[in-house]
Amino acid sequence: MVKRYYCDFCDCSYPYSDEAFKKHRTGHHHIKQRRAHYDKFKNARERLEDEAKKSKCRRFLSGQECSFGDSCVFSHLTQAGTEALQQLALEEERQERKMQIPTAQRRT
């Protein structure tokens, strides 16, 4: 029986060999699934920086539905969404600073 490798990101298995491993790890589907998994753990500041690097999706801004959805390489963030994300990032920074203050000083 041939050993099989299971990929948690893609939820699939394939025969284990160096060639198959390399082909799978460099494949578009695996890279997309891995990126989606780790994007879940980003804080608001990191998400805001990522969105700022992207250009706006013309299809989404014109009111049409983008067929790529969350996997679109362009930004789907509206002005209101950007402001909300900025507020969330500021709140996270306040919470981080508050946690750095010694406990005795936090109570006052």
pLDDT, tens digit (0-9, with 9 covering 90-100), for 49-91: 988 898 999 888 888 888 888 778 898 888 898 899 999 999 9
Domain-wise residue ranges, the chain: 1-41, 44-108
This prediction has a pTM of 0.64
Q: What is the pLDDT of residue 103?
A: 66
Rounded Cα–Cα distance for residues 94 and 106 (Å): 13
Which 3 state secondary structure label does DSSP give 68? coil
Query: Average pLDDT in the 34-59 region?
Result: 90
DSSP states of 3-37: -EEEETTTTEEEE--HHHHHHHHTSHHHHHHHHHH
The count of other CB atoms within 10 Å of the CB of residue 32 is: 13
Yes or no: say if 45 and 89 are a contact pair by the CB < 8 Å rule.
yes
